[in-house]
Structure 1
Amino acid sequence: CSVCGKGTISEKLRSTNKAILVQGGKSQGLPGEQECLPCLIGSYSAEPGSMECSLCAVGSYGSLKGLSECSVCGNGTISEKLRSTNKAIMVQGEEEWVAYQGAVSFDACGCREGTRMDASGECVLCGEGIKCDGSGKVKVLKGFFTGADSPGSVFKCFGDARRCPGGPPGTCAPGRDNETIACISCSSGLSPGDDGACKPCSSGNSAVFSVAIIVSILAIAVLYIFLRNEGQDGKAQNEAFLIATVAIGQCVGVSQQLSIFGQLKVNWGSPFSEVLEFFSLLAFNMEWLTVSCLARFSPLQMYSARVFLVLLFFIVACCIHLLYVALRKKFADGLEISVLVRVMGNLMMIFFISVAGAILAPFRCYTHPNGIRTVQEFGGVLCNSDGEYQKMLIVAGIALIMPVSFFVIASYVTIVELPKRMQKADVAFLKTWSFLYYRYRPGAAVFSVILLLRNVGLVIVPVIPGGAIKVLLIIMILVVSILITAFMLPWRILECNYMEATLLAGVAVLISMGCLFMEDVDGDNVMQVCLALFIAMTLLIFGVFVGGFAKYLLAKHRKPFQYFLCHQKSGAGAFARLLKCELIRMSGVKGKVFVDCDDLQDLTKLFGYVGFDTEHLIILGTKDILTRKWCMGEVTTGRIHNVKTVVVALPDYEPPSETLVEDYQVHVPDVTELAAHGISFAAVQETLRWMRELPTIELPGTLDSKLTKAVCKELVAMHVSPGSMGKNFVQLRNESEDELDKGTRSVNRKAQYNGSKVAILVDYKNMEAVATALVLQLMVSPLVLSSGGMVPYIMTANEEAMPTVQIIVVICSQGCFGNPDIARVLVSSAARSLTVLPIIAEDGFRFPTKDFYDEVLATAGTTGMLGKPSHLAAVVKQVFSEIAVGFNPQGYSASIQDLEVKAKTIAFRLLGGKLKPMSLEDYHPTSPGDFEANSLGLFLPASKSTEAKISESL
């Protein structure tokens, strides 16, 4: 026999004892025992032969002795795995609940830490905003709120988290009404304080509201007075004052943009959160004025007051306007509705973001941890399309009429009506709608529409779900706005453009920093956006590379500019324009013709156009072209890049001599500045020598349309390549030299132009003036073609106006009235009572002075004009009694668009029929002294001897 082992007992079997295993629910930890011990409460023995009982596991209990298994807490329920057995212990003087084994009763059953028991008895996860320690009680975290009767329904205290201090369910900051959602409202008689609590109302609260009303009325009154006095009696706007007003406007705009930040799900820290709260006043958030101390308003009433507050501003403006008109002007000019429209328009421009943002408040909903959505600005209203929320949507639909109609009207006036009214010089209309454009430079009025579009985008973004998407869209809107401002420079004062771009960049940085405090950041969406942006940038780089390479390959075969006209402005500016007009009309010219006024916006690209984008370089040779560094830079670039080059030599052109080449730096000291563009002085000298061998087309001393067309035909037909002048020399002849005699020319011209009602009178000795006349003829003729006989023709030397001519168009160039032919035609035209339209063709032209009379008397015997010498002076005075039109193709800024506008003006004057006829009887000077007194400042010197005596221009 042996001793029974542990977990067994000795049992008598007939004449001996037998060891048997201890049964479940019992144990025996000693050897050689005859009895087993039952498990105590809170423990169990599941297997036979147990040496000791095990404590009931966490989440189970044993309420009886001798158990083979423990009872599971919540056995058979859905949340069985979330059950636990918990008890309280003291740790450093504080009670903590911990899970333990060996529970002896059902009372120890509860839910695991991080879960809570709902009303149905099931354990559920705590969720965001509450803490479940296993005691069965819920502790609300700071910044969240749950009702005492529904501790599992968690609301987040959006905006000011201090109103929800946390603790037991139903806890709010002192003075807050815990019956409202997320402690959103103060109890009756209290107003929001600085620490989230509510404080008793005082007399100071009503004083703040009263001060706000008074300040608003005074601000509207100041705005009214300022707008009423602005531009009165033709006063110009003071630049410094305009900068100040624009700065104030941009400050208000940035403040309203900051108010939009408060609508994003960003936990702005102190003190920036207080700054945003203050600027929310500009978004018509009247809670800052503690209006709850004055009366108890429902969310619907408060919302309606916010969206229609601007109408109250309109009413105040109307009252101020009526008082002013009645008391100050006594209705002398009627109601002056235009002034009222201007004031209301400015108010709407100032508060457009505020109005639109306030209207869209019901669409900005916040989703709480419990899944319930409430209106951000009115946390007590559920976004559920029922009850008060539905009424808010109706009010929003009505109120949207204001910003939408304003945007539509402003866009229509700016884009459609404003150009028409400016052309008609409708001063009343322009003053009425000046709030749309007066801050911007001429031609940039459309920026007001762009500004409104930007504001619309900014107020719509907070409505879009997704925090990261909102920030991305706001940054994109701001970046695009910066680019538009940098590209357009729309503000009237340059400094205001810098200020606008800087402020927008600052706002973009602020919103970027706000990303660090965002609540709901979807990492997957953010990564997808980053990936999309990276792909877009990669595609952009690849597209630019492919486009540049393709452009390079295409330039090898066909370059953008078929002809590049290199010219010196004062010597051949008008002739260059004439050549371009004729070349682009020829069938043999497929590419573009480069003239700097039309095609050059960046001077640094000039030589690149010559070297890489030009097929043929045409040098318009004049007296001074060889001494112009930019012209020589163009020619040198063309030589270096083997651009086909030809010289069109005007009468005063002389090929560069060796003396000029050797002493070139003495004559043109600033030629060394070309070194910055990679052109050395030695390269310029080599170019000058190279120019002697270029193919040349030589022009005679006078110019006409046939000669111009002949030059263009030679340029198209001629193989332009460097060679000897002997092989490539063409000398053109004027049509007057090809005719047999003057009689034949006269017969031909009468047959061609008889019936014309408009003749162009020009100084044929001045080639640039003749070129101007030819350009004018080309551009005006299509505009007057529908009116029979109004197509102008150009008079030649020694030619009188055709019998059918009614209007003389005088091309006014320097010294033109010293030409005897001009004088004779003017006097004869006055004798026929023809009308006249003066055209200023040169920037250097000056209106006649009194010295002109002395010149007339001195040359009276040689002019050969009809009548007395004093007649010419009288006729010239009558010429300039008509308002002259500037048409200067040789000007530095004379683009084709500018010339087309001026050509339309000239056509309008020709067809308008309001030109006054000249007469020789209207002026009878009694003595030379009387003439001199009357003609002072009106007449031009007729020769170089008197040019030094030119007085200031009229």
Structure 2
Amino acid sequence: MRSCLADAVPIVERRWLPSAGGIPLGLWNLYGSKMELDTPSTIFKILAEEVLGYHVNSDVQDVGTAAEALWKLAGCSPSETDSCHEQTDFHITFGVTFNANVSVEYDRVQRLQMGGLLENLASMGYLTRAGIYVTQALLQSAETSTSRSLLDDYRSYDARYHQPQSFFDDVESIDHSQLVPCAGWLTSSQAALCENNWWKAPTCRFKGNGSCVPCLTATVGRTAYRVAEIMDKAVAHSMPIALGVTRSVKDLHDLVAVHRTLFVFWEPDVTFLQLHPRRISFPKHNPLLWLRGDYSTDSQAEDPRIVVSSDLMMHAPDVREMLLKMKWSLADIDAMMQDGVETKALADGQIQPNFGEMLEVQLSSGNWISGAAWEGACNWLHTHEHIWRTWIPQADSCLHGQGLFSVADTQWLERRQVGAVCRPCEPGYTSVMVTDETGLDTAVCRLCSPGRKQSSFSAQSCAECPAGTISQSFGQTECTKCPIGSFQNGTGRSECIQCPENMDTSIKGATTEDACICSDNTYWQWEQQRCIGCPADFICNGSFMPPLQRAGTWAEALEGGGYSIYYCRDVLRCPEALPGSCATGRTGRACADCFKGFAAAADGSCQPCDALQLWPFILIPLVVIAVVPLLVFAGIVLSRARKVAISVFVVCLVFGQLVVCLQSLEAQLLSNTFPPYRRLPVSEAPTNAIYQFDILWVDPAKAILQSLSIFSFDIEFSCVLPPRNHLMEYTMQLLAYPVVLLGTFLVWSMARFTRRRVSFTYFVNFHGIILIALLTAMSLSVLRPFQCRENPNGTSTIVTKTDVICWTTGEHIALILLACVGILAYPVAILAAISFLTWKYPIWLRSSSGLEVLERYRFLFGRFRPERYYYGLMLSFHNLVVALIPATLVSVPALQVGIMGIVVCVKLTTQSLLWPWRVDVANYNDMVLSAGLLMLLLLASPLLNLNEQKAMEFVAVLLACVMFLLPIAALLAASAAVCFRLRPQSKYSMFLCHHKAGAGALCRFIKLIVHKYGRMNIFLDSDELDDLSRIFEIVSSDTRCLVAVLTPDLLQRMWCAGEMTSARKSGIPIIPLYCDGFAFPDADCINKIESVWTEEQQYTLTSHGISMEDIKAILQGFL
């Protein structure tokens, strides 16, 4: 590769652009086949390579328009704009003229990226023009003529006043065969009157060929160059022009060189330089006329521009600085082009260059022109060094956007020093112009101060951080948004302003204090004008929204902006809403009451009363009216049909047990329905009743439990009574049974005058059954005022009447007094009566009126076996304990499940051991119902949620105690068993082994005589044994001696043989008592003894450890 300058930078020392690992500086050679633009490009290439020391890629490209060159600099194409933000291979192009089309395309490219992809950097210093030219020889000839015509002025061609044809050749002297026929260059939108291939203007056509001025233009490509413009000017200014079109630029050059004629061309250009052409001037260019298609004014002079890619400042700022200073005059361009062509021609062996031929070759290939341009550019550089040396930037004279940089120390500098170079300022830095001690200007890169940022290269200033953002340190490339809970209303700040206490912002980057809102779990207190913490049992969603009461709680607004929180009976009654809100139709504290005429619905609201809500008030009178006929009918049936009476008795037993079981379920419902509200998120809160030990009952079990409220007399009175009339409601509940008692008594009294009288015994039994069956329900009802639960505000309210404050209000004191009366009237009186009757029962039974007592109190004693007559009292106490659980343990919900389970287990165990009911069906039914209750508690226990720490600790202590007591109980049981086995004396002094048919009376006589005269304990199986399976164990463990009453069939009885064998194996003395008719068995009978008993009897003996050999051995002893 040749060099132009003597001190050129060697190729090995030239630089690559730093992007993408190193690429050459790309020079897009626009219009590479036109010499006037290639010469400035060549000068730039020489200076960039040999002076600045860059690798330059300047391959000649055949690009049709400047608009396409813009896309090349952007690194993409109009159809593929996605790659426009990527790396480009070309950075610079010379000679872009911004006509209307190019300007539109330039704007389109710029819009693809903020700040633009291109930079319209500078003018090249001269203007390019096109028009009608006349040679210098013709100008001088006209100026020296008698007319003194100025042929470079359009007015000299006005045929009305001048005769310009006298200075030009006649059109007939020009060979028209060298011209293109009009049909060859006319377009579809043009029309022309041509004669011998000449298109004549009107002034030429009317006056004949002798009055015409020939004007030639060439075909460029397939288009006749500017024919419409030339003819438009000729017509507008009365110019007698005859326009001809040559086939090529070479033909145009040849004809102009030998004929006196006008010609159409452009400048600067080398083709006609030797003829020294002069452009004819016309009126000043009028762009509005040209837009309308009127070309009578002069053409627009175009300013060729230097366009670069926008990243040139970042990659090569010194190249950009040089481009800003590069300027040429039109004479410089002409001289360089002429010098280059002549130098090239001489180098090719041509004495006189043929410019027309050379231009034709240039237009067709463009291959040789770079050589000629290089020669002209190099010669110009040699002769004009004083000009281009001023273009070269000094290494340490940095431009605005650059800064001094030490390559050796790899750091930015604040002053000039040896080895300093200029580099674009990096992001986070700004370029600052400074004047050093020598008085010369340069630039340094300094870090952006806090509150400012810069994210681009070559920045000339740092931008202030906008409102809502900050930069806290030097050299920030981006501003950081203020975090949640802060804002910044100013610009250029380094710290965010914190929102007031308990306030946050909903977004990052807040710009005003108005963006601060109450944070989560706080709310806006209007009286204090600040955000305060969310009260307990409230939901605060922040912002400026008021707090919401949790579902299941009710908030009462207090003076000063505070709230008093009460628990509701049901979460559905108090929805999650504004403080004090209730479900539809509800009113009062904690939404406890329905408006008069409304009744509670399943969804927690109150709906207008209908027949469904009024059924208790309709049913009770019907029951009272119908009970006596039922008693009469039952009395008649029972007295006449014993089988029917027994069946009815069994049914009544089963039904009574079911009623008691349902009351136990209702007790569980009461203990599980009204808990302290659990503080859960709304999404976890139960959707229905929350139970006291946090059992989340689910349907359909929940609906079934809620339907049992009738068994505790929990009846809504709002259909007939106004709200908050709790004394009246409670009084009506207490008087419910006395009303029934009085009504039935009146009916019974009237029935005495009927033909079939009802005994007073039936009346007593009927009410006895009611009292025993409904003892739990009555106890639940009268104890309800004592069921007080603590609220978050420190007060206590009744669980079922949440608007009644306990212990401090007159209303509750009145309820307590009524409850005391109710307790004395119902559970205390009933249990006292049952206890008294149970205590007197054995005495009355042995008296003369025993049968009458048995009939009168059959409701209490007739249901049980005679020896278990006391079980009625035990069952009544059990029912009372069931009712006491929700009342006494209301403040300890975690304990209620366990206590209820223990009570049911004790009752189930007691019933299984005592087997008290008179009929087996009742015993089995009682076991099934108790087991069902126990299963219900076990199945509900996984739903138990001990969310309170205190409750969890309490249950943990109970579990530890139970786990500690279990091994102790097992140890005590084992010790008792051992002591029982090892006790020194037997329970029975004598065991009478006998055959009942042969010696039953004798044995009874023996026992009576012994009891009469001694204190010996005699075992007689008919008196002592309930379970035959234990008879052998009694012989071996609890007997001192066995008396065998030998009767004829004794030895053939399986049980008698087993008893004697057990006594012999245990070492118990056997005393034989021979009776008449007893015969000793012989050996044959002994050997065949197994044939006497069935296989089942033999299996029974074997299961107790008695074999046939043992029996034969004991029988051998009688021989």
Give the TM-score taking structure 1 as reference length. 0.60
Map 1:377-392 to 2 at 5 A: 377-383=800-806, 385-392=808-815
Change (3 A) 1:305 1:448: same
Report the AA paired with residue 739 of structure 2. L
Task: Provide Cα deviations, 1:807-830, integer angstroms capped at 9, x if missing partner.
Answer: xxxxxxxxxxxxxxxxxxxxxxxx
Q: 1:542 aligns with which of 959, 963, 971?
A: 971
Spell out, residue by residue over 1:349-369, the C-alpha distance to the aligned partner (whole angstroms, 9 max, x if none): 232222111111122245566
Distance 1:612 1:323, change over 3 A: closer
CA deviations over 1:507-544 (Å, ceiling 9, x no partner): 22223333344455644444444444344333333333
Query: Counterpart amino acid of 1:638?
Result: A
Distance 1:422 1:548, change over 3 A: closer
1:832 aligned partner? none
Contact 2:831 2:876 in 1 (8 A): no
Query: 2-side partners of 1:406 and 1:614: how far apart?
Result: 48
The structure 1 residue matched to 2:846, chosen from 423, 433, 439, is: 423
1:402-481 matched pairs, under 5 angstroms: 402-426=825-849, 427-463=851-887, 464=889, 465-481=891-907
* Distance in 2 separating the partners of 1:658 and 1:420: 58
Q: Which of 504, 508, 519 is equivalent to 1:101?
A: 508
Provide closer, same or farther for how the CA distance between residues 171 and 295 of structure 1 changes in structure 2, counting only shifts above 3 A: closer
- Asked if 1:633 corresponds to 2:633, the answer is no
CA distance in 2, matches of 1:374, 1:519: 23
Alpha-carbon distance change, 191 to 596 in structure 1, aligned in 2, over 3 angstroms: closer
Distance 2:829 2:632 in 1: 23
* Whole-angstrom distance in 1 between the partners of 2:620 and 2:663: 20
Q: CA deviation at 1:312?
A: 1.5
- SS of 2:520's equivalent in the other structure is coil
Q: SS where residue 604 of structure 2 aligns?
A: coil
Does structure 1 retain, via aligned residues, the 8 Å contact 2:831–2:873? no
Which digits, 9 at most, give the CA deviation of each residue in 1:895-947, with x for residues without a partner? xxxxxxxxxxxxxxxxxxxxxxxxxxxxxxxxxxxxxxxxxxxxxxxxxxxxx
Structure 1 counterpart of 2:655, which letter? I
* Aligned-pair identity (%): 23
The equivalences for 1:574-593 within 5 A come to 575-576=1002-1003
| CA separation of 1:543 and 1:662: change in aligned 2, threshold 3 A | same
TM-superposed deviation, 1:293:
4.8
Match of 2:924 among 498, 501, 522: 498
CA distance in 2, matches of 1:18, 1:284: 94
Q: Which residue of 1 aligns with 2:354?
A: none
Q: CA deviation at 1:47?
A: 5.1
Structure 1, residues 243-265: CA drift from partner, whole Å, max 9, x if none? 12222322322332232232121
What's the CA shift for 1:238? Answer: 1.9
1:158 to 559, 569, 574: 569
The AA in structure 2 aligned to 1:462 is: P
Write the letter of the residue equivalent to 1:446: Y
Size of the aligned set, in residue pairs, is: 659
Equivalence for 1:680 = 1107
- Deviation per CA, 1:446-489: give whole Å up to 9, x if none: 11111111111111111213334212222222222222222222
Q: Which residue of 1 aligns with 2:401?
A: none
| SS across alignment from 1:274 | helix
**Structure 1 326/610 Cα, relative in aligned 2: closer, same or farther at 3 Å?**
closer
Matches within 5 A, 1:547-558: 547-551=976-980, 554=982
Partner of 2:34: none
**1 CA distance for matches of 2:885 and 2:460?**
84
SS at match of 1:269: coil
**Structure 2 residue aligned with 1:41:** 467
Residue equivalent to 1:622? 1047
Q: Which has the larger radius of gyration?
A: 2
Shift in alpha-carbon separation, 1:633–1:22, aligned structure 2, 3 A: same
Match of 2:621 among 193, 198, 214: 214
The one-letter amino acid of 1:449's match is L
Whether contact under 8 Å (1:362, 1:389) holds in the other structure is yes
Conserved 8 A contact 1:564-1:593: yes
Q: Secondary structure at the match of 2:593?
A: coil
Are the aligned partners of 2:778 and 2:827 in contact in 1 as well (CA < 8 Å)? Answer: no
Is residue 63 from structure 1 mapped to residue 470 from structure 2 by the alignment? no
Aligned residue for 1:492, secondary structure, equals coil
Residue number among 648, 665, 668 corresponding to 1:241 in the alignment: 648
Query: What's the offset of the Cα at 1:299?
Result: 2.4
The CA distance in 1 between the partners of 2:877 and 2:435, in whole Å, is 103
Residues in 2 aligned to 1:448 and 1:550: alpha-carbon distance in whole angstroms: 34
**Residue of 791, 797, 802 corresponding to 1:374:** 797
- Structure 2 letter corresponding to 1:601: D
- Which residue, 541, 550, 569 being the options, matches 1:132? 541
Pairwise mapping of residues 223-622 of structure 1 onto structure 2 (< 5 A)? 224-225=631-632, 238-263=645-670, 264=672, 265=691, 266-287=695-716, 291-293=718-720, 298-325=725-752, 341-366=764-789, 373-383=796-806, 385-426=808-849, 427-463=851-887, 464=889, 465-518=891-944, 520=946, 522-551=951-980, 554=982, 563-573=990-1000, 575-576=1002-1003, 594-597=1019-1022, 599-622=1024-1047
CA contact (8 A) 1:414 1:449 kept: no
CA change 1:12–1:311 in 2 (3 A) is farther
Aligned to 2:604: 196
Quick one: distance in 1 between partners of 2:596 and 2:996?
Answer: 82
**CA drift at 1:103:** 2.2
Report the alpha carbon displacement of residue 431 of structure 1 after superposing the two structures with TM: 4.2
Partners of 2:870 and 2:431 lie apart in 1 by 104
Question: Against the structure 1 CA distance between its residues 537 and 597, is the aligned structure 2 distance closer, same or farther, given a 3 Å change threshold?
Answer: farther
**Residues 29/278 of structure 1: CA separation in 2 closer, same or farther (3 Å cut):** closer
Counterparts in 2 of 1:131 and 1:691: CA distance versus 1, 3 Å: farther
1:221 to partner: Cα distance: 2.6
Residues 596 and 721, structure 2, Cα contact 8 Å, conserved in 1: no
CA distance in 2, matches of 1:570, 1:134: 98
Larger displacement relative to structure 2 (305-314 or 43-52): 43-52
1:235 Cα deviation from its structure 2 partner: 7.9
Alignment of 1:149-188 (within 5 A): 157-159=568-570, 161-177=571-587, 180-188=588-596
Query: Are 1:317 and 1:344, in contact at CA under 8 Å, matched by a contact in 2?
Result: no
Q: Distance in 1 between matches of 2:1032 and 2:933?
A: 41
C-alpha separation in 2, matches of 1:341 and 1:241: 18
Q: Structure 1, unaligned stretches of length 5 or more?
A: 75-79, 87-99, 693-954
Structure 2: 5+ residue runs without aligned partners? 1-403, 405-411, 415-424, 673-690
The residue aligned with 1:915 is none
Q: Indicate whether 1:84 and 2:84 are aligned.
A: no
Would you say the 8 A contact 1:117–1:124 is kept in 2? no
**TM-score normalised by the chain length of structure 2:** 0.52
Cα–Cα, structure 1 residues 640 and 479, in superposed 2: closer, same or farther, change >3 Å?
same
1:952 aligned partner: none
Deviation readout 1:218-247 (Å, 9 max, x if unpaired): 354356546866987998982111112222
CA contact (8 A) 2:574 2:581 kept: yes
Aligned partner of 1:756 in structure 2 is: none
What secondary structure, in the 3-state scheme, does the structure 2 residue paired with 1:292 have? Answer: coil
User: What residue identity is the alignment partner of 2:899?
Assistant: L
| Structure-1 separation of matches of 2:813 and 2:966 | 45
Matched residue of 1:425: which SS?
coil
Contact 1:224/1:317, CA 8 A, preserved across alignment: no
- In the alignment, the residues of structure 1 paired with residue 620 and residue 976 of structure 2 have an alpha-carbon distance, to the nearest angstrom, of 61
- Seen in structure 2, the aligned counterparts of structure 1 residues 9 and 449 have a Cα distance that, compared at 3 Å, is farther
- The Cα offsets for residues 760-816 of structure 1, whole Å up to 9 and x where unpaired, read as xxxxxxxxxxxxxxxxxxxxxxxxxxxxxxxxxxxxxxxxxxxxxxxxxxxxxxxxx
The offset of 1:29, in angstroms, is 6.7
